[in-house]
A and B are shown apart, each in its own frame.
Chain A
Amino acid sequence: MVMRLLILLVSLLLVGCGDRNWRTAETSEIMPLLDFSLIDENGQAVEAEDYQGKVTLVYFGYTYCPDVCPITLARLAGTLNRLDDDVREDIQVLFISVDPQRDTPEVVKRYTNAFGSEFIGITGELAEIDALTNRMRVTYDYEEPNQRGDYIVTHTSAVFAFDREGGAQFLIRDSHPISDAVADINRLVNDGA
């Protein structure tokens, strides 16, 4: 009896921690399905469902960020470069701007093109971006503009991974070795979901 309880307890714990055992950080318990109504880099209205069918990596940033955003995207491009071609074909990266005032579709398109064909720029109405970030429980914040009218945007630094149905799976931080990100993305693509 005690043994059974113990087994039940252990299995509950395992489920609680997520049963996928990602090397990066599990998100399936804390993040809902990917869901948004935004504008893509070609100026088209898009919904999260439009991106189903491929593994989706999401990064929230802004193009006037000269350091953290391009370095993160470049590192992600380097991560994808380590995957086999057929795996990469099953992956898309959404760079979702949290600064739509400056990041027009044209701007995010030129920006994401610099990182590779898997990278897609997304912008949209601020209210819709807020709906998405609130839903995902991620935040961003504008600082006071300077004399030129430029402003710094504080934003989440992680890359969020979703399965082909838009289900949250894991997030990749800077502190995770690239080899761990490669292993998890590979698994997510190959195991399906």
Chain B
Amino acid sequence: MVSHLFKTPRLLAGGMLLMLITAGHASGQDVQVSNARLSLLPGEQPGAGYFQLHNTGDETAVLVGAQSEAFEDVEIHMSSDENGMAHMHAMEQVAVEAGERFEFAPKGHHLMFIGRKQALAEGEDVEVLLQFGDEQRLPVTFEVVSPAAL
């Protein structure tokens, strides 16, 4: 369980390399994603994606969306607690400044995976395409985990 926290990024290495090479020069942007997990329960209920973004480039990286063939929709969300009430709302984008890290973590920012198209079991991989403001696309592999493992 704890090992998830330190798991190395499971990126589509080839695809990502290509992205960084092609996009790297145009925008000077490099984004690394690590520890990508998709918390899911049995049934049709939506899941939550957690990961860490590291902007190793020298310009602000702006995550504007995500998509996955395994789900009808993926949205950027944020949970918050105000006076003992749990709120959640969709976000247009999340900006990560050059050199900064940003954590999508339980009870904070998350990707909300809505409308699963196929059954997914713990331990399976889900391919997700993160979309950034400068048209950069970053494919990331999320591992399906139980919320109990977080």
Contact = CB atoms under 8 A, between A and B. Distances in A.
Of the candidates A77, A78, A157, A173, the one having the most CB atoms from chain B within 10 angstroms of its own CB is: A157
B91 interface: no
A28 interface: no
Contacts of A67: 39, 48, 77, 79, 88, 106-107, 110, 112
Contacts of A107: 43, 45
B2 to A, nearest CB: 12
B115 interface: yes
Contacts of A115: 148
A71 to B, nearest CB: 4
B64 interface: no
A152 to B, nearest CB: 5
Contact of A154 (B43, B47, B87): B87
Interface in A56-87: 61, 63-71, 73-74, 77-78
Interface residues of A, number: 30
Contact of B147 (A70, A148, A150, A152): A70
A67 B89 CA distance: 11
A66 B42 contact: no
A157 B84 contact: yes
B41 interface: yes
Given A71-B106, A71-B107, A174 B81 contact: yes
A74 B150 contact: yes
B46 interface: yes
Interface string B88-125: 11000000000000000011001011110000000000
B42 A114 contact: yes
**Majority SS at the chain B contact face:** strand
Nearest to B41: A114
Given A74-B148, A78-B148, A66 B47 contact: yes
Given A67-B48, A74-B150, A77-B148, A111 B43 contact: yes
B113 A66 contact: yes
A131 to B, nearest CB: 20
Contact of A70 (B39, B72, B115): B39
B86 interface: yes
A155 B79 CA distance: 12
Interface in B20-55: 39, 41-43, 45-48
Interface of A: 61, 63-71, 73-74, 77-78, 107, 110-111, 114-115, 139, 148, 150, 152, 154-158, 173-174
Given A70-B48, A139-B85, 5 more contacts: A64-B45, A68-B79, A71-B39, A71-B147, A156-B86
Interface of B: 39, 41-43, 45-48, 72-73, 77, 79, 81, 84-89, 106-107, 110, 112-115, 146-148, 150
5 contacts: A68-B88, A71-B107, A71-B147, A78-B148, A114-B147
